[in-house]
Amino acid sequence: MEPRTKISIWYIIATFIAISLLQTFYQASKQTTAIPYSEFQALLNANKIDKVWVAQNKIEGILKQPDKKGNKRFDTTRVDPTLAGELEKHKVTYFGEAPNTWLPDILSWIVPTLLFFGVWMLFVRRFARQGGGGLMSIGKSRAKIYVEKDTKVTFADVAGVDEAKEELKEVVDFLRDSKTYGRLGARVPKGVLLVGPPGTGKTLLARAVAGEAGVKFFSISGSEFIEMFVGVGAARVRDLFEQARKEAPAIIFIDELDALGGVRGAYAFGSHAEKEQTLNQLLVELDGFDQSIGVILIGATNRPEILDPALLRAGRFDRQVLVDRPDKKGRIAILRVHMKRAVLATNADPEKVAELTPGFTGADLANLVNEAALLATRRRADSVELRDFTAAVERIVAGLEKRNRILIPKERQIVAYHELGHAIVAMSLPGQDPVHKVSIIPRGIGALGYTIQRPTEDRFLMTQQELDNRMAVLLAGRAAELVFFHHLSTGAADDLVKATDTARSMVLRYGMDQKLGHVAYDRERPPMFASQDPRSGQGRELSDETERLIDHAVRDLVGRALERAVAIVTANRALHEKTAALLLQQETLEDEDIVTLRSQITAVAAATGADASDREKPRFASTRP
């Protein structure tokens, strides 16, 4: 039982005792004498009664003269008048006895009282849970406080972000020994901002700092400061920093800082006084931070571009630490951490799994290990094998298999030729990710088939030729439909969107068109960690002629990519038809089938004299002086 519940019960018991005592004192104050009914009859016959109050079962009255005890008040219980007359004849002393109703009488007012208190406490507790402690604590901080034994996270539990850990180690050193840390005149940053995409481990890293330093850890989300009442958020900020100062050395961690620290005045309509007041109070608290007391503020966000500049200036959030998606080495380290909980087969090598997961975050890898363990459990295996991880990757990337979605024979044939078009063109062009699997089994919401390409290494830069080749691979499915069926279908809708976006990026952002030159026409910077959609540039100020040239350039890039894809599919027509028949029979091509297909494409290229490397000269010379 919680302490608050115990206190409430004692309040109820004390109230009940007080009411009982008051009732007893009230009854005693009347000084009433209880007499038998026969004595009442005698007093009545002797004309000694002055006044009488007659109730259903009771008679109360006042005597003309006090009795032997000095009381003038009396009461008695009524008796049937007929029976009283008979008893009077035989000179029998008789008493009236009222039914014992003390328990119902007490329950009649105790039960409603208890019910009232119960309902009242229920509403108070529910309001306290939703409103942060009730009306009396509406301005109190909602931060969850963890001590070292509750955190249980150290840098050993965080993998794949070695650079970020190195940046935060000096924060740990300061918290451990804040007095001697600045002996050379250095000061620790007031605030550390962890910046990175969702799922990269920003919160885990902040908790690891608290676990390493062995200090109190105040954790709260930026949205928990904001309320409908103006001034509540600022009060909670003050209370949070006051609690942290009392518990110093300590760490304050504000997750999703963008919910609290957005640019002030960014919205032209609506009232944002509460949000701005809360941010102003946070800025004031940061300015008044005494670094010698040992309190560090750590924030985390995946949208740093919308934060108020005043929050990021020197003296507030002095240091920004990037927590990016891990590279292959980082993925291996993360997988080793999560694989400790699973029973692995000998072929479940973290390095092999890391090769299958470029672009995965730490949260994605944790989910991958869990999905692989579930798949192995479902097939009643004794351990998790590499094929379980492969199937888990396909499930996460492409979606769940829809074997119950039956396609008519004509649709299956179109899907098979379409997917093989992607695979053959990807194998024919240089710089493209290797093909690992081709399938015509429907997956996810709208995918009727899929071709999986997995990069062998992390890429951070792409050339113009590689982008041209990527568009050709994207449009290879439509090229196959044109070559073999002489018509178009809706199956290439997503491929067209991706190819068009790539072409627009080449023209608007990368300056890869000869007529438009080395100019970036998309001035609006996309969100740092969001998907970079070139269509989102709404702030461009271009002439009609430039807009027309951009449209023509995009169309020309996509058209040339389609022509190249059609040429490659036509050159491999016989091989395409033969492999499509095998795909329709097996539904999936992988491993040996993919190796055989790749060697046959190489043989066709050699026989026809085509240059498999597909090297092209630059379309225009450099304009560098």
Residue 128 has pLDDT above 80, yes or no: no
Burial of 404 by CB count in 10 Å (0-12 exposed, 13-18 middle, 19+ buried)? exposed
pLDDT in tens, 257-309: 888 877 776 554 444 667 778 888 888 888 766 666 777 888 888 888 888 88
Q: What is the largest CA-CA distance in the chain?
A: 144
Query: Rounded CA gap, 40 and 48, in Å?
Result: 10
Query: Percent of the chain at pLDDT above 70?
Result: 74
Radius of gyration of the chain (CA): 41
Say whether 592 is catalytic: no
The pLDDT value given to residue 570 = 93
Instruction: Identify the residue whose tokens are 């491999």.
Output: 572
Say what the pTM is. 0.67
Tokens of 454: 């997995």
556, two tokens = 């020309």
Give the model confidence (pLDDT) of 96-114 as tens digits: 555 555 566 666 667 677 7
- Rounded CA-CA distance 491/426 in Å is 18
Catalytic residue among 212, 224, 274, 419: 419
Confidence of residue 538 (pLDDT cuts 50, 70, 90): very low
Q: How confident is the model at residue 621 (pLDDT cuts 50, 70, 90)?
A: very low
Burial 13-40 (b: 16+ CB within 10 A, else e): eeeeeeeeeeeeeeeeeeebbebebbeb
Contacts 24+ apart (CB under 8 A), 121-128: 121/8
| pLDDT, tens only, 209-253 | 888 878 888 888 877 777 655 567 788 888 888 888 888 778 888
**Average pLDDT of the residues of the chain:** 77
**What is the spatial distance between Cα 146 and Cα 242, in angstroms, rounded to a whole number?**
16
Report whether 481 contacts 488 (CB < 8 A): yes
Q: How far apart are CA 230 and CA 210, in angstroms?
A: 32
Which residue bears the tokens 């597909």? Answer: 614
pLDDT attached to residue 80: 66
pLDDT at 579: 92
Q: What pLDDT score was predicted for residue 322?
A: 87
Residue 199, number of CB atoms within 10 A of its CB: 17
Q: Copy the structure tokens of residue 135.
A: 């009306």
- CB-count exposure of residue 153 (10 Å: 0-12, 13-18, 19+): buried
Q: Per residue, what are the HEC states of 13-66? A: HHHHHHHHHHHHHHHHHCCEEECCHHHHHHHHHCCCEEEEEECCCEEEEEECCC
Report CA-CA distances (Å) from 40 to 28, 31, 48, 66, 81. 21, 17, 10, 14, 12
**pLDDT at residue 92 above 70?**
no
Query: Rounded to whole angstroms, how far apart are CA atoms 434 and 437?
Result: 9
Between 533 and 528, name the one with better pLDDT.
528
Written as six digits, the tokens of 561 are: 């990519």
User: Does position 89 have pLDDT exceeding 80, yes or no?
Assistant: no
